[in-house]
Structure 1
Amino acid sequence: MKQKIALCLLTSLIFFNTLIAQDTVSVAGFGYKPDSRINAVPFVQKAIAACKKNGTKVLVFPKGRYDFWPQYVAEKLYYESNTDVIPFRRCPNLFEGVNNLMVDCSGSEFIFHDRMQPFTIDNCNNITIRNVSIDWDIPLTAQAQIMVVTNEYIDIAINATESPFIIEKGKLVFVGEGWKSEWWGVMEFDKVTKLVAPGTGDEGCLGGGYDGYTAAILHDGLVRLNYNFKRKPAVGNYLVLRHSARDHAGTFITGSKNVTIENMNMYHNAGLGILSQYSENLTFRKVSVVPNPAKDRILSGHDDGLHFSNCKGQITVDSCRFAALMDDPVNVHGTSVQIIEKLGDKKLLCKLMHEQSIGFTWANAGEKVGFIENEAMNTFATGIVESWKARDSVLFEISFKEALPAALAAGDALENLTWVPDVLIKNSFFGSNRARGILMSTPGKVVIENNVFESSGSAILIPGDANGWFESGAVKDVTIRNNTFNDPCLTSMYQFFEGIISIDPEIPKMDIAKPFHRNIRIEGNTFNPFDYPVLYAKSTEGLYFNNNIIRRSNRFTPFHKRQFMITLEACKKIEIAGNKLEGDVLGKNIRLVGTPVSSVKLGEKQGIVIAGKQ
């Protein structure tokens, strides 16, 4: 009897292990050995194909270093939002039409060579990527330390092993694995704090108009830049030397649903960090877009950290970290288009306006579209799509089930109200980046809570425009609560840096009767400003700034032109109550511009007064 029981148990165990083996595929099973430095691309392609064919549930990368070279990569035409248009994207890890798959990288280090897109998730459902670090041996942006500063020249030290360079026609040119590109942009970071150097901002540490410089190699990676630079950087500080384009995302998610990225270190990439477009239900947990601490680098990722364009469902960003980016850690928006011509009482010819937002299938039958007047940017009516047809990558025809509004005219804009997400951002750290911390443009429900902000520009920007970037999404329900805004916020000059929280849509002609944004609650937060502006709001109805702590910092010297703590332009239904001011807070005042005093409910015992009206 005991032998029969043991035999049954053994048979069951064999069956169970066989089941596990069928449900799990390892890249090692296709012959790849981590840490070998050989090209992992063909091995990974075979493993992904096997997963897709067999309906595998788990793809495992045994822990180690994996090197990805351009040879054998899949090349695909993708129109990627806010990214340069190029003929093909290189996709070494392409998941296309894959469903119900967990990709566990086991804490591995993925190292990429030349320009490519580390992960691409195309038309997938229920897919998770976890436990991986992404980096380049030769980064696509260089850095240098400032050694000597004079009125005639600046000497900088470059690690020529990590960032090889040459001097070509007097200009500093970086060369890599299959590419070379000339230096054209710069950021300065403090040598001690590793923050964006206060006061540098978009002017750069060298000031504008330095095209007249000439470069010369002195010795051992020391380069002399001959020029009387407008802005003199500080000796010992670091420069990030941008020389590359924005042509591949670190991870690209398109046409997909229920995607989770967790425990990912995005140390470097060739453009936006993780770009999601036309996708639904996305979760990012413990994603770090920061400099690689093992390599003593200043710059992380590249441009934005997490970028969402025309998504829907629920977006969750939880316990993530961002630092030293060349743009915004989180950006959520739609894409508005301009009306070129009325083709009938139900049909329009429209144009995708921004050069980095073309080629989209902008709408499908049955989707809801808003009609936006150009001047006040008011969404004054909606329609349901009957059909959509592209003429080319820029122009398209769109027909509606009902007659178009009589007031709709060429020059007005459309927004797709079907592709709008709800957003939850919590427990995350937004370090010192060029520009902002969060850009939020969605009419869905938004909660931003329990985060720490140290961006060098505005911590949170709620924008909106149908005239420049054409990024749509007037907000309707935003809660910003229990966050800490530290004093690095607003230390440099950028576009849209009117306050630590800046509600600043680009509206050609504001009309208080037609507010752009609505229902924004800023409650229970702690602000540590060194300067005047804490909150700036434009064209907003229903703004609540309650029960916040505002604690003065003396770490930096005030410089902002806006010497009011709160500024309200063309706003109504405002409540400011229960706030506590600590220390010598600057301003303690509210400026009203085109905003009636009667629209502001100002609580007592705050020490805040209405000091200016225009």
Structure 2
Amino acid sequence: MTEIYLQKTDDMTPIVFQALKNADDGTVLKFPLDEYHFRPDQAFEKYYYISNNRHSLKRVAFPIIGKKNITIDGGGSRFIFHGEIVPFIIEQSENATLENFSIDWQRPFYSQGVITAADNNGVEVEIDRKQYPYHFESGGTLLFDGEGWSHGFHEGIFEMDPRTGGPAYLSGDNLGNHNPRTLCPQEIGPNRIRFNNRFPHRPTIGNILLLRHYPRLCPGIHIKQSRNVIINNVTLHHCGGMGLIAQFSENITVDRCSVCPPPGTDRLFSVTVDACHFVNCKGLIRIKDSYFSSQMDDPANVHGINTRIKETLDDFTVITERVHPEQHGVEVAFPGDIMGIAHHDDQLTYDRLTVKATKELNPQLFKIVFKKPLPKSRRPGDILDNLSWTADVHISGCTSANNRARGYLLSSPGKIILENNDISAAGAGVKISGDANYWFESGAVQDVIIRNNQFGDCCYGPAPWGRTAIDIDPEIATPWKNTECYHRNIRIENNTFRTFDPGILYARSVDGLVFAGNTIQSSNSYQPTGRMNAHITLDACRNADIQAPGLSVEINKEAHSRYHQRQQPSLNCE
């Protein structure tokens, strides 16, 4: 093992680039405790297609490419980034470790201000223009200014409650107006802007309005086609994309990490999207003893990608398309991989095919040759899911709160354990889905254990973020018509739910559901939303064992009677 101590300069980017370029396998790059600045001007450049983020030419501060046994040890230092730059990319590497540092930006990619007035015709906000620079162009267009960039609204505006540190009750994206392009900003004085819109939700004066004006271009850490990666004692205060985004990689550990605003500031946002995101990874995804707060999407999302068959060339060959633009260019399959094929409407795998050869036609289209003929039962619009790249997931000892949207999104056919966590979210605390409609995120679960967790207030945001604390909702229009369920074997045991709303569990198309030993407590944090008629709702489920004394259980009778013509569910409601 070779240790290299890096000396501080005004711009560490070229120093790190040269050190990594010359580093032998087994090298440890060490930073003495200090504050280090990284700028994009002399950074490594490469065009990257990063799943669920924007593809573009990236400038990278730490390009760890084709390396083995490399460690970056920050020694407790603060890494401050400037402009449009990706801090870390780990590509085609093994046994890489990042540890003991924090990541932040000199000028963050979002801004915020204090709501000073709100009425039926608009909202006024006061912004510290020195901290969050902006200007109006001659035509009235509002642009926010950073180091080397200027952007108008991308995701729009978002209300946060400084008393809780989280999203404001029932506010949602753009105060209920889902199209940020309709925002009508007007400069009404020094550091003051009015939005002349009739918003469905009127915000509270004194709350904070986040100004989301940057696309997903600069994630914090990207892992691509790598294995055995450890992220240890790393804090992400900010980045212009997902905190950690991994795709087609194996065995990733996140240990004692944090995603949160920097201490000593009034910022109410951390990273601009998910804290952690894993796409078509395999092996074990291990997240432990970590803290996720104030990011503008979920603490962790694990899933695969459904690609849609666009054209059949012969009995063995298809052209498949990556439908969502933020999945363009992402890997689909490698020779030897096993692909599941399913109809678009039910997403149930009806055959498995081994890949013989592949060819990238362009960022959207991908050619696959299989070893055996395609099934005769295929239909136009069928989807393919790479079953060789699926992970086991173990998340424990973590706290997640005060973020936009939901808690943990878990869609993997591997073994999933979620235990001993504190979970609160503006939407569902846990969401298990699967869709072939918009994001095309695959992952019918086969073995899930949710146990010994503490669920705080959930679902205090808008309805699309979740209807219950645990929301199992594959996007299948008529699951009772299917011959089998989409999800299987989900056990929810010995958890405590302390929440203001009665909705605890919604389950759709699950075979083998257990709800037992859980404790339900009431909080007075918010008014109940009234979204659910019962504590527990089952829709087109089989073999459900619900042990819930004193809780109301609603079953979609029509769905169950039609779906279970041969086998009635085992429903035990004490």
Interval containing the TM-score (normalised by the shorter chain): over 0.9
Kindly indicate whether residue 444 of structure 2 is the aligned counterpart of residue 479 of structure 1.
no
Q: How does the TM-score come out when normalised to structure 2? A: 0.95
Kindly indicate whether residue 560 of structure 2 is the aligned counterpart of residue 595 of structure 1.
yes
The structure-2 alpha-carbon separation of the partners of 1:342 and 1:105, relative to structure 1 and needing over 3 Å to count, comes to same
AA partner of residue 589 (structure 1): V
Structure showing greater Rg: 1
Describe how 1:312-391 pairs up with structure 2 within 5 A: 312-391=282-361
Greater shift, 404-413 or 297-306, is seen at: 404-413
Matched position secondary structure for 2:287: strand
AA partner of residue 97 (structure 1): G
Q: Deviations over 1:63-104 (max 9, x none)?
A: 111111111111111111011122x11111111111112211
2:402 to 401, 416, 432: 432
Report what 1:68 is aligned to.
38
Kindly indicate whether residue 280 of structure 2 is the aligned counterpart of residue 310 of structure 1.
yes
How far, CA to CA, are the matches of 1:210 and 1:380 in structure 2?
Answer: 42
Report what 1:542 is aligned to.
512
Report what 2:21 is aligned to.
49
1:503 to 443, 464, 472: 472
AA partner of residue 189 (structure 2): L
State the Cα distance separating 1:47 from its structure 2 match: 1.8
State the Cα distance separating 1:160 from its structure 2 match: 1.4
Q: Deviations over 1:397-430 (max 9, x none)?
A: 2111122211023211111000000000110011
AA partner of residue 81 (structure 2): F
The structure-2 alpha-carbon separation of the partners of 1:576 and 1:512, relative to structure 1 and needing over 3 Å to count, comes to farther
How far, CA to CA, are the matches of 2:379 and 2:508 in structure 1?
Answer: 25
How far, CA to CA, are the matches of 2:196 and 2:247 in structure 1?
Answer: 44
State the Cα distance separating 1:238 from its structure 2 match: 0.6
Report what 1:17 is aligned to.
none
State the Cα distance separating 1:528 from its structure 2 match: 1.4
Describe how 1:113-192 pairs up with structure 2 within 5 A: 113-168=82-137, 169-184=139-154, 185-192=156-163
Kindly indicate whether residue 372 of structure 2 is the aligned counterpart of residue 402 of structure 1.
yes
Kindly indicate whether residue 66 of structure 2 is the aligned counterpart of residue 97 of structure 1.
yes
Describe how 1:504-543 pairs up with structure 2 within 5 A: 504-510=473-479, 511-543=481-513
How far, CA to CA, are the matches of 1:153 and 1:529 in structure 2?
Answer: 32
Kept in 2: contact 1:278–1:310 (CA 8 A): yes
State the Cα distance separating 1:554 from its structure 2 match: 2.4
Kept in 1: contact 2:153–2:181 (CA 8 A): no
User: Sequence identity, in percent?
Assistant: 37
State the Cα distance separating 1:512 from its structure 2 match: 4.6
How far, CA to CA, are the matches of 2:400 and 2:186 in structure 1?
Answer: 35
Unpaired segments ≥5 residues, structure 1 = 1-21, 582-586, 605-614
The structure-2 alpha-carbon separation of the partners of 1:212 and 1:335, relative to structure 1 and needing over 3 Å to count, comes to closer
Unpaired segments ≥5 residues, structure 2 = none
Kept in 2: contact 1:206–1:232 (CA 8 A): no
1:201 to 140, 149, 172: 172
State the Cα distance separating 1:328 from its structure 2 match: 1.0
State the Cα distance separating 1:257 from its structure 2 match: 0.5
State the Cα distance separating 1:205 from its structure 2 match: 6.4
How far, CA to CA, are the matches of 1:601 and 1:151 in structure 2?
Answer: 49
Greater shift, 180-189 or 565-574, is seen at: 180-189
The structure-2 alpha-carbon separation of the partners of 1:155 and 1:212, relative to structure 1 and needing over 3 Å to count, comes to closer
How far, CA to CA, are the matches of 2:102 and 2:538 in structure 1?
Answer: 44
Kept in 2: contact 1:342–1:410 (CA 8 A): no
State the Cα distance separating 1:203 from its structure 2 match: 5.2
How far, CA to CA, are the matches of 1:58 and 1:152 in structure 2?
Answer: 58
State the Cα distance separating 1:529 from its structure 2 match: 2.5
Greater shift, 468-477 or 166-175, is seen at: 166-175
Matched position secondary structure for 1:521: strand
The structure-2 alpha-carbon separation of the partners of 1:175 and 1:401, relative to structure 1 and needing over 3 Å to count, comes to same
Greater shift, 418-427 or 55-64, is seen at: 55-64
How far, CA to CA, are the matches of 1:281 and 1:541 in structure 2?
Answer: 29
Kept in 2: contact 1:339–1:409 (CA 8 A): no
AA partner of residue 556 (structure 2): L
How far, CA to CA, are the matches of 1:402 and 1:83 in structure 2?
Answer: 34
Q: How does the TM-score come out when normalised to structure 1? A: 0.89
Report what 2:186 is aligned to.
215
Kept in 1: contact 2:183–2:195 (CA 8 A): no
Greater shift, 141-150 or 303-312, is seen at: 141-150
How far, CA to CA, are the matches of 1:209 and 1:251 in structure 2?
Answer: 28
1:271 to 231, 241, 253: 241
Report what 2:5 is aligned to.
26
Kept in 2: contact 1:207–1:231 (CA 8 A): no
1:420 to 390, 411, 421: 390
Report what 1:83 is aligned to.
53
Matched position secondary structure for 2:173: helix
How far, CA to CA, are the matches of 1:100 and 1:202 in structure 2?
Answer: 43
The structure-2 alpha-carbon separation of the partners of 1:387 and 1:207, relative to structure 1 and needing over 3 Å to count, comes to closer
Matched position secondary structure for 1:541: strand
Report what 1:4 is aligned to.
none
How far, CA to CA, are the matches of 1:209 and 1:304 in structure 2?
Answer: 20
Kept in 2: contact 1:206–1:233 (CA 8 A): no
2:437 to 449, 460, 467: 467
How far, CA to CA, are the matches of 1:235 and 1:394 in structure 2?
Answer: 45
Report what 1:584 is aligned to.
none
AA partner of residue 52 (structure 2): N
Kept in 2: contact 1:186–1:205 (CA 8 A): no
State the Cα distance separating 1:232 from its structure 2 match: 1.9
Superposed CA RMSD in Å reads: 1.8
Kept in 1: contact 2:175–2:200 (CA 8 A): no
Matched position secondary structure for 1:42: helix
How far, CA to CA, are the matches of 2:50 and 2:331 in structure 1?
Answer: 12
The structure-2 alpha-carbon separation of the partners of 1:235 and 1:599, relative to structure 1 and needing over 3 Å to count, comes to same
State the Cα distance separating 1:231 from its structure 2 match: 2.5
Q: Deviations over 1:1-25 (max 9, x none)?
A: xxxxxxxxxxxxxxxxxxxxx7211
The structure-2 alpha-carbon separation of the partners of 1:312 and 1:207, relative to structure 1 and needing over 3 Å to count, comes to closer
How far, CA to CA, are the matches of 2:85 and 2:356 in structure 1?
Answer: 38
